[in-house]
Structure 1
Amino acid sequence: MSYAGDVTPTEAWSALEEDPRAVLVDVRTHAEWSYVGLPDLRSLGRDVVRIEWQRYPDGRLNAHFVDDLAAAGIEPDQRVYFLCRSGVRSIAAAEAATAGGWAQSYNVSEGFEGPHDPERHRTVSGWKVAGLPWVQG
Structure 2
Amino acid sequence: MSTDTGPAVQELLPAHTWDRLEKDPNAVLIDVRTKAEWSFVGKPDLSSLNRSVITIEWCEYPDMSVNPRFVEEVKEALDGSHPSAIFFICRSGARSMNAARAVSASSGDLPGTPDLFNVAEGFEGDLDSQERRGGLNGWKAQGLPWRQS
TM-score range, shorter chain: over 0.9
- 1:82 corresponds in structure 2 to 88
Q: Deviations over 1:66-105 (max 9, x none)?
A: 1001100264653000000000001101101111115511
Aligned AA for 1:52?
E
Alpha-carbon RMSD: 1.4
Aligned residue runs from structure 1 range 1-137, under 5 A? 3-73=8-78, 75=81, 78-101=84-107, 103-122=114-133, 123-137=135-149
* Ranges of 4+ aligned residues in structure 1 off by more than 6 Å: none
Q: Flag the 1:76–1:20 CA change in 2: closer, same or farther, 3 A.
A: closer
Per the alignment, do residues 25 and 90 of structure 1 end up closer, same or farther by CA in structure 2, a change over 3 Å counting?
same
Asked if 2 retains the 8 angstrom alpha-carbon contact of 1:79 and 1:105, the reply is yes
Q: Distance in 2 between matches of 1:16 and 1:132?
A: 12
2: distance between equivalents of 1:96 and 1:19?
A: 23
Q: Which runs of 5+ in 1 are unaligned?
A: none
State the aligned residue count: 136
Task: Judge conservation of contact 2:27–2:83 (CA < 8 Å) in 1.
Answer: no
Whichever structure has more strand as a proportion of its residues is 2
Equivalent residue of 1:105, what SS?
A: strand
Q: Which amino acid aligns with 1:27?
A: V
Structure ID, larger Rg:
2
Percent of matched pairs sharing the same residue: 47
Corresponding residue SS for 2:67: coil
* Comparing 3-12 and 99-108, the one that deviates more: 99-108
